[in-house]
Chains A and B, each alone.
Chain A
Amino acid sequence: MRLLIKIRLKSMFGGIKKSMKSKKAGAGALLILAVLICIASVEVVLFGACNLLAPFLETSFAWLYFSLIGILAFAIGILGTVFTTQSQMYEAKDNEMLLAMPIKPFHIIFSRVLALYILTLGFTACIMLPAGLVYGLKVGFSVKFVVIYLVSIFLLSMIIQTITCLLGWLLHFVLAGFKHKALVATFFMTIVMVAYMFGINQLEGLLMMLIQNGGKIAEAIQSFVWPFYALGQACMGDMVQFLLFTLFSVGVFAGVMFLLSKTFTKAMLAGGKTKSAGKQKRDRKIRTPEATICRKESKRFFTSTTYLVNVGMGIFMMVALVIAGIVFKSKITAVAALLGDVKRYYSFVIVAVMGFMAAMTTISAPAVSLEGKHIWILRSMPISGAAVLKAKLRFHCMVAASLAFIGGLILGIVYECSLAEILIAAIGSALLHVLCGVLGLVLNMCFPRLDWPTEAAPCKQSMAVFLAIIIMMFLCIGVFALSIFGINLVGKEFSVFVLLGVTLIIALVTYLLYLLMVKWGGKKFETL
């Protein structure tokens, strides 16, 4: 059991440790970046907690503050880890090997869940710690509060992990019955993402509603979601509720662990019984080497739930964004009109927003790592590393850049931009996706790990994906800031030239990065 846990933790954190050892400067920068993101998330929670706490302290519902924070942590934790849990538990490559060994299924499951628990604990702590800090600063810290609160974080994480495991288990059995798992899972994830974004959008109103209806909500929590009532009361110092909360957390966790271990073998067989895609027609088309690799990438992308959901959500979000832009045009223009004459900024917003979607479409970033044990196929063929990378980029552009171009065109037309603005905005949007594709491949060649234990790992945990997302986000902000600066410099009437200038800068950066990818990246691929 100890060895299994050690292996799981090593596979989770081994990559980070390895890169910290080999590239100290890069890893240091990454660490700073991660800390900055954590600080930013913590600040958001602090802001919300401050607004939420004051009104509750004035009433007798102070415990409700902790219950609501607990519910928030629960919702975020569940959303963030269901698919990870499902893939880590049931799609791990070593499942069959471990099951064939004299190891109890409980030990296999427990070692996996423990590793996932650490991630969940991180999520929960990001929400709960700032909220506890806000409470402590306003009301005062006591040893009893600190101890109970910290233990509650561990217990709440346990409940979150329990429910996530249960959902992951259900998801595994549900998906096993579908032919096109990837598309079903992505459809589900898109709905979850849209609901999540809608929730974030409504956060302010939600907070007001919570404050105004504190009494009713407290009653509802006490009746329907008792564990959060117990959590709230425990944090307020009620030792009986704390003990009950502890018993509940440990009890449900143990129960679910028992259920999962008893059904693990069956669940693995259910995965194997997945409906066959059936006999397919023989493909008789002749392609160039690059086109055939591009097609192979397409097949991998559209048949892998993990790949599609984790780095391809942006393509679905782009479609949703364009539809929302058309449907809510009058509302959006009305809100924009409040800011003054901003019509000339529309094309810039289109580029920035479509470009921002690039950060959610990092298809190319794990593309080399995903070759994994198959790397021998491309490496033993008469095709250069540069050609392989170009083919991978081609697929990225076919999916993301073409969609961004069409999206940019549609939004430009809908928001009545001039012809020049429409065209440049569409090209600019597409170029940001091309840039994201090239950047992803360059980053993957900087961190070309091929020995990931699951397909999910390079998509979720790799440095290349993480950096591609962060860099693209900052880049879009930079592009927008540069555009505003340019307009202020030359005047609104020349905004189209600013747009052109910014697009040319994106094109230049993309081209320089492309040269790096082809020359350095191609050579490096040949040594993998």
Chain B
Amino acid sequence: MLHIEGFTKRYGDKVAVNDLNLHIAPGEIYGFIGHNGAGKTTTLKACCGLLKPTAGTITINGKSISADPLGCKKEMAYIPDNPDLYDFLTGYDYLNFVADVYGVSKEDRDERTDRYGELLGITDALSLPISEYSHGMKQKVAIISALIHAPKLILMDEPFVGLDPSASHQLKQLMAKHCEEGGAIFFSTHVLEVAEKLCHKVAIIKGGNLVASGTMEEVKGDSSLENVFLELEDKAE
């Protein structure tokens, strides 16, 4: 589904990500772990076409994000770490806006808005302007907007930040269900326990370089993901 081949991103002399290779297959939840500034957000932004790679290719279902950005974007959704949504719209307005751009039918958008709204416990607030939302409420709307067009691939940057325990639990369920239905999720997180329980595969990045990747068992073995992560961090230093 998502193929990252030799992806490199430089900002002037600084190498943010260096020669990254990752393959995310349908049905997989792929966790992306690393310290702050390791290159996780840069990678995710490049995957959804917000940043242009300095080198390497990123393809989604065989389509290059550089050559066919619109084709790729139709098949995926992106949730940033800090979901700055349009404050002057209501939750419903925003979801309708996203559904319009993706060409979602009336029945589908209504059904998905109601279903995910109920699951995340935000239906009542959807009629209010987003300017009145808390960070967590914005995050919930961003999650619904990502799911409203039933994308095949979802890219998430720190999706659990700001969510209440109930919504966090529901999101994990949604992610699992999405992958059961053949979708794929590539997400970054600092919550290693969540990654350990939720992900099929995991990649650890340090200073822009991939230090470990593979199935959860391959990466952590008998140890915990936290121990492995800390060990790898020390080794890389």
User: Taking beta carbons and an 8 Å cutoff, which residues of A are in contact with B?
Assistant: 276-277, 279-289, 291-293, 295-296, 299-300, 303-304, 373-374, 376-377, 379-384, 526-527
Complex contact B100–A291 (CB within 8 A): yes
Interface pair A292/B129, CB less than 8 Å apart: no
The one of B73, B106, B128 in contact with A279, judged by C-beta atoms closer than 8 angstroms, is B128
Q: How far is the CA of A291 from the CA of B96 in the complex (A)?
A: 12
Indicate the member of A283, A289, A381 with the most B CB atoms within 10 Å.
Answer: A381
Whether the pair B74, A382 counts as a contact (CB closer than 8 A) is: yes
Task: Please judge, given known A-B contacts A292-B101, A296-B89, whether A283 and B50 are in contact too, CB under 8 Å.
Answer: no
A286 near B88 with CB under 8 A, answer no
Q: Are the C-beta atoms of A286 and B106 separated by less than 8 Å?
A: yes
Measured between alpha carbons, how far is A300 from B89 in the docked complex, in Å? 8
Is residue B127 contacting chain A, with contact meaning CB distance below 8 A?
yes
- Whether A282 contacts B127 in the complex (CB less than 8 A), given A288-B100, A373-B84, comes out as yes
Contact: B101 with A300, CB < 8 Å? Answer: no
The CB with the most chain B CB atoms within 10 A, among A287, A288, A296, is that of A296
A523 to chain B, nearest CB (A): 12
Contact A377 B85 (CB under 8 A): yes
Residues on B with beta carbons closer than 8 Å to the beta carbon of A381: 73, 98, 101-102
Q: Given contacts A276-B129, A291-B100, A382-B102, list 14 more A-B pairs with CB under 8 A.
A: A277-B129, A280-B127, A282-B126, A283-B96, A284-B110, A292-B97, A292-B101, A293-B101, A299-B89, A376-B84, A382-B70, A382-B71, A383-B70, A526-B69
Binary contact readout B44-61 vs A (1 if CB under 8 angstroms, 0 otherwise): 000011101000000000
Task: Verify if B5 is at the interface (C-beta below 8 Å from A).
Answer: no
CB atoms of A303 and B88 under 8 A apart? yes
Alpha-carbon gap, A56 to B89, bound state (A): 58
Given that A279-B128, A381-B73, A382-B74 are contacting pairs, would A289 and B101 also be in contact in the complex, using a CB cutoff of 8 Å?
A: yes
Determine the residue in chain A with the shortest Cβ distance to B80. Answer: A376
Q: Is A380 within 8 A of B73, CB to CB?
A: yes
Return A374 CB to nearest CB of chain B, in Å: 5
A376/B50 in contact, CB under 8 A? yes
Interface size of B by Cβ–Cβ distance < 8 Å? 35
User: In whole angstroms, what is the CA distance A277 to B80 when docked?
Assistant: 27
**Chain A residues in 8 Å Cβ range of B102:** 381-382
List B27-73 residues whose CB lies under 8 Å from chain A.
48-50, 52, 69-71, 73
The reply to whether A287 and B88 form a contact with Cβ atoms under 8 Å apart is no
B106 cross-chain contacts in A, Cβ below 8 A:
284, 286
> Which A residues touch B88, using CB under 8 A?
299-300, 303-304
B-side contacts of A280, CB under 8 Å: 90, 92-93, 127
A381 to B145, CA, bound (A): 11
Q: Which residues of A contact B89 (CB under 8 A)?
A: 296, 299
Cβ–Cβ < 8 Å partners of A295 in chain B? 97
CA distance A29 to B68 in the complex (A): 39
Q: Which residues of A contact B193 (CB under 8 A)?
A: none
Given the interface contacts A289-B101, A299-B93, A380-B78, does A276 sit within 8 Å of B128 by beta carbon? yes
CB within 8 Å of A: which of B128-163? 128-129, 132
Using Cβ atoms and an 8 Å threshold, which residues of chain A touch B90?
A: 280
Contacts of A374 in B (CB 8 A): 84-86
Expressed in whole angstroms, the minimum distance between the Cβ of A260 and any Cβ of chain B is 24
User: In the bound complex, what is the Cα–Cα distance between A374 and B145 (angstroms)?
Assistant: 14
Listed A/B pairs (14) with beta-carbon separation below 8 Å: A276-B129, A279-B127, A280-B93, A280-B127, A281-B127, A282-B126, A286-B100, A289-B103, A299-B88, A374-B85, A376-B80, A380-B48, A381-B98, A382-B101
What B residues does A303 contact at CB under 8 A?
88
In order of increasing CB-CB distance, the 9 nearest A-B pairs are A292-B100, A279-B127, A382-B73, A382-B74, A373-B84, A380-B78, A303-B88, A289-B101, A382-B70
Which residues of A are found within 8 Å of B49, using beta-carbon distances?
Answer: 379-380
Contact: B84 with A296, CB < 8 Å? no
Per the bound structure, the CA–CA distance linking A490 and B129 in Å amounts to 59
- Which B residue's beta carbon lies closest to that of A292? B100
Q: Point out the residues of chain A lying under 8 angstroms from B92, CB to CB.
A: 280, 282-283
Q: How far is the CA of A519 from the CA of B101 in the complex (A)?
A: 21
How far in angstroms is the closest Cβ of chain A from B104? 9
Docked pose: A287 CA to B102 CA in angstroms: 10
Inter-chain CA distance A285–B77, complex, in Å, is 23
A92 to chain B, nearest CB (A): 15
